[in-house]
Structure 1
Amino acid sequence: MLEILDLNKSFKKKEVLKEISISLKTGVYGLLGPNGAGKTTLIRCIVNLYDITKGNIRFQGIDVTNNNAFSKNIGYLPQKFGLFKELTVYDNLQYFAVLKKISKESMDTCIKESLKKVNLQDRVNNKVSTLSGGMVRRLGIAQAILGNPQIIIFDEPTAGLDPEERIRFKNLLSSIKEDKIIIISTHIVEDVETCCNKMIIMNDGKIFKMGNSEEIISIARGKVFEVKQGIGIDSNWYVEKTFFRNGEEFLRVLSNKKEGHKSLEPTIEDGYMCILKGI
């Protein structure tokens, strides 16, 4: 279990994270929130890139706050991931394997297994400079899972991936999630909708809600309506999107007041927006 207890993080006088407390058991968690919500700062505190201003982090009951030794249990793909472009794919992973203190005896096997899981085994001797953006992202995923860490954290892992690669990433999660804590940070609900056991919704440096898909969806039940375009917009409505049917334009709106319009079945995205907008 990974426990984050009353965590605060400030940069000078700016408080970025505020009294965050969550407990994570084995499973895949979607860390959702708009840009600037504090997701990346929270991740960097967990992986020990930032010192914590206040609070504690425990892993399996042991206090690992600001403990460099704890990082060997974590695989991490940052939002912006750099590699040595003039080195080969294999050499780059060998560099990360040394940093992770993977033994020489098992290093080659670990590297080849990671590359196979992200479908880059045929690029093992290619220089990174020859790879496409999507391949570089997949190589970043390979280094995160290298060495079979107990905690794996992906920050915007599908950025730059095409639809086929996104499906491959979801399949990869299914193959590696056994006995692991996996956190996927994103602002795209679709990225976590099909592959996460639970969702953690952040905004303004705080945890607003943690729950499974049905719990998030239930927050929007009775609050999603279809309104024909041209009807006056009420100040209580949050217009989520527009769509067309039979040549006519409609709005999908959220409201905590019964508006007398056609009610729609809520989605995870509806629940997410209700939480963020206080509906």
Structure 2
Amino acid sequence: MVRGVSAGYRDRAVVRNIDLDVEGPGIFMVIGPNGSGKSTLLRVIAGIVKPYSGEVIVNGVPIYRRSEVKRVVGYMPADIGLLPRLTLYDNLRVFAELLGYDKRYVDERLEVLRKYIQVDDILYMRCGAMSTGQRIRAGLIRTLIHDPQIVILDEPTRGLDVAFARDVRSLIQGLARDRLVIMTTHLVYEVLDMGRDIAVLRSGELVFRGSIDEFRRVLADKPVTLYVKTTTSVDEVLQSLDIEFVRRGYGDYIVRLPNIYTLSKLLRELSISTNIIEFREDLDELVKTLYGG
């Protein structure tokens, strides 16, 4: 799918000589430290950024050779990519028209999307007035409005509360049953629980490509730093798992776990015992530990 791609902005290469074979259905994760080139690679695959060299092949056709190939790709950037002064419905009309679809098609697709995304409360809201959660929903609706075979999502759960992030992950897993989803994340447990395959970038280069099981084995004995914010104290749960405290306050913790297996146990225990407000790992630190800065 991705053949010898080098790309960037002006004269600065951000990703170099990337080769990836990615097939669906399933979820393909792209991870790496900040500045490693994840978002640039996603833009190249989506046909937004043209590479300096190499090409992206979709259904046997280079994505830049035929404009209709882009119809099979749906892309949601980290900033969601909606026109803030327009309502969601108007955004959908504009986007659909760019791909050659009319108002009737938009309305028909909305009927389908209503089955698994809450649409009506935000459909006629200006996108610039939406909350983070509403914007994520709006972005997903815009990304899926043309029923793409390949869905590309740049950190789709970023900034969401735990409950809504769980709903978004469930939606993405549902999409991946019959299409390819390519997504980035900074959350280790999203990588391990959702992904089928993974690519790890460091300084614009591909340093790992394999299955999630292979990546899990690489991580097996590596420590994980974790931030947890809850509505109640969870000292008892944390202490029962022999976890090192970096910072501890009432419902506000930074802890260091010896390995990813302890992370899985902690997730299970916390989901039973408390209401988690926020939960995130330092994935950048973990990748740097594995592959250098």
User: Which category describes the TM-score, using the shorter chain as reference length?
Assistant: 0.7 to 0.9
Counterparts of 1:104 and 1:13, CA distance in 2: 41
CA drift of 1:198 comes to 1.3
Is contact 1:48-1:68 (8 Å) kept?
no
User: Which structure: larger Rg?
Assistant: 1
CA drift of 1:240 comes to 4.7
Q: Which moved more, 1:161-170 or 1:266-275?
A: 266-275
Counterparts of 2:66 and 2:112, CA distance in 1: 29
Is contact 1:208-1:275 (8 Å) kept?
no
CA drift of 1:169 comes to 0.8
Counterparts of 2:50 and 2:2, CA distance in 1: 14
SS at match of 2:121: helix
Is contact 1:112-1:121 (8 Å) kept?
no
Counterparts of 1:183 and 1:44, CA distance in 2: 11
CA drift of 1:251 comes to 7.5
Q: Give, as a single letter, the amino acid of the residue that structure 1 aligns with 2:36.
A: A
Alignment of 1:71-86 (within 5 A): 71-86=70-85
Change (3 A) 1:95 1:272: same
- What is the match of residue 19 of structure 1? 17
**TM-score for both structures, normalised by structure 1:** 0.77
**TM-score for both structures, normalised by structure 2:** 0.74
The one-character-per-residue Cα deviations of 1:18-40 (angstroms, maximum 9, x if unpaired) are 11001001021111111100011
Change (3 A) 1:28 1:11: same
* Structure 1 residues not aligned, in runs of 5+: 226-238, 253-262
Counterparts of 1:13 and 1:126, CA distance in 2: 40
Is contact 1:90-1:111 (8 Å) kept?
no
Over the aligned positions, Cα root-mean-square deviation in angstroms equals 3.2
Q: Give, as a single letter, the amino acid of the residue that structure 2 aligns with 1:25.
A: E
Alignment of 1:41-190 (within 5 A): 41-65=40-64, 67-190=66-189
* Structure 2 residues not aligned, in runs of 5+: 228-234, 247-256, 264-282
Counterparts of 2:2 and 2:112, CA distance in 1: 32
2:3 aligned residue (2, 5, 13)? 5
The one-character-per-residue Cα deviations of 1:228-260 (angstroms, maximum 9, x if unpaired) are xxxxxxxxxxx85699637x97389xxxxxxxx
Is contact 2:72-2:148 (8 Å) kept?
yes
Q: Which moved more, 1:133-142 or 1:189-198?
A: 189-198
The one-character-per-residue Cα deviations of 1:82-112 (angstroms, maximum 9, x if unpaired) are 4344433322222222223234443202124
Is contact 1:216-1:272 (8 Å) kept?
no
- What is the match of residue 269 of structure 2? none
